[in-house]
Amino acid sequence: MDRIDKLLSSTGRWSRREVKDLVRQGRVLLDGRAVLRPEEKADPDQAVLTVDGAAVDCSPFVYVMLHKPAGLLSATGDKRQPTVVDLLPPELKKRGLFPVGRLDKDTTGLLLLTDNGPLAHDLLSPKKHVDKVYLAQVEGRVEVEDIRALAEGMVLGDGTVCLPAGLEPIGEGSSCLVTLREGKYHQVKRMLAARGKPVTALHRLSMGPLALDEGLKPGEWRFLTPQERANLLRLGDAT
Ligand code: URA
């Protein structure tokens, strides 16, 4: 927790004196309510601080939402193949951002990149119950028995134990939504292949409260909004 006058002045936009005046004039809000004293404290990563209604980013970490295109590795670097980090500008590459969990090379959709290691750990831990939702196209059609099998938790041919997962057919069942709380190697593809429904295309739609921004085209990225960031961090704190 840091003092609000320190947080706002550390952005370089206002002096401590100016922050005091902004607070006195009721122009600074913390999570939607007026800050009464500049010495009030806030968590720079979780708080949504606004000045005159505009959000001010005081976070010590960087959070990027990327629409991963097919054909790139979810890694920070590779000698031979392009990675998702190659889509970022040099100043962000220098910050050492890494992808939170891996998507296969041919999987598209939501990928979060950050330099906040503990948060990444929390989002991936099955104990934290962070749902990851995928849109899958399959050969054949998803049936009630498939829904039941995933809901019970599957054991794959090599002995891999999968936690119960959600399966929701869309339309005739050649597409479906799969909801996982974990991220084992090729998990969606292996579970559906084991049900005799090989995946022909896979796209991640969301991770906990964070949904892929439909305005981002494959290969495009943007910073998380303060609200998106606060939602994710609260979730890391839960449990
Ligand atoms: N499951 C898979 O099989 N592949 C991914 O990329 C993500 C989840």
User: Going along 118-228, which residue ranges are E strands?
Assistant: 132-138, 166-170, 175-180, 199-207, 210-211, 221-223
- In short, whether 188's Cβ falls inside 6 Å of ligand 1 is yes
Q: Which of 2, 104, 115, 213 is catalytic?
A: 104
Nearest to 116 by CA among 234, 235, 233, 237: 233
pLDDT digits 0-9 by tens, 13-28: 888 999 999 999 999 9
147 belongs to a structural domain? yes
122 token code pair: 């929390």
> Domain check: are 160 and 223 in the same one?
no
Task: Give the residue, out of 110, 131, 184, 187, with the most ligand 1 atoms within 8 A of its beta carbon, to mutate for a pocket test.
Answer: 187
- The string of DSSP codes covering 88-113 is S-HHHHHTT-EESS---TT-EEEEEE
> Domain check: are 29 and 73 in the same one?
no
Select from 12, 29, 56 the last residue of a domain. Answer: 56
**Whole domain around residue 83: which residue ranges?**
63-125+209-233
Q: What is the CATH number of the domain that holds 14?
A: 3.10.290.10
* pTM of the predicted protein model: 0.84
Note the pLDDT of residue 239: 41
- The DSSP code for 196 is T
> Domain check: are 38 and 85 in the same one?
no
**Nearest-angstrom CA–CA distance, 80 and 64:** 24
Note the pLDDT of residue 96: 87
**Nearest-angstrom CA–CA distance, 235 and 127:** 12
pLDDT digits 0-9 by tens, 77-116: 889 999 999 999 888 888 889 999 999 999 999 999 999 9
